[in-house]
């Protein structure tokens, strides 16, 4: 089973990815975050993520600085 996280503030985009993942990877778990803060919380709670799709244009992401903040929240053994 794969564990995926989509961090995007557009619900239609998250819904579309949910449909694609559900049909292509039936035994997968897709977590959704609508903000960088939500994504950081989910990353801290789910340390065995296989893939993270991050929208760098999230309102609270501040471009690549958001990616840096998210990486800092990942436990050292999971990078």
Tens of pLDDT, residue by residue over 7-65, are 999 999 999 998 998 899 888 999 999 999 999 999 989 888 899 999 989 989 887 88
| The residue to which tokens 């997968």 are assigned | 28
Q: Helix, strand or coil for residue 63?
A: coil
E strands in 35-76: 51-54
E strands in the chain: 3-7, 29-33, 51-54
Looking at residue 30, which CATH number applies to its domain?
Answer: 3.40.50.2300
Instruction: Read off the tokens for 49.
Output: 């993520």
Kind and range of the H or E run holding 8:
none
> For position 53, what pLDDT does the model report?
92
> For position 7, what pLDDT does the model report?
95
pLDDT at 79 over 70: no
Residue 44: domain span:
3-78
Number of domains the chain contains: 1
pTM, to two decimals: 0.84
């Amino acid at each position: 089973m794969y564990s995926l996280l989509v961090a995007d503030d557009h619900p239609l985009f998250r819904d579309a990815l949910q449909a694609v993942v559900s049909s292509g990877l039936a035994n997968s778990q897709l977590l959704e975050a609508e903000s960088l803060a939500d994504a950081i919380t989910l990353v801290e709670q789910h340390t065995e993520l296989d893939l993270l799709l991050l929208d760098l244009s999230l309102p609270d992401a501040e471009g690549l600085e958001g990616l840096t903040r998210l990486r800092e929240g990942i436990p050292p053994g999971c990078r």
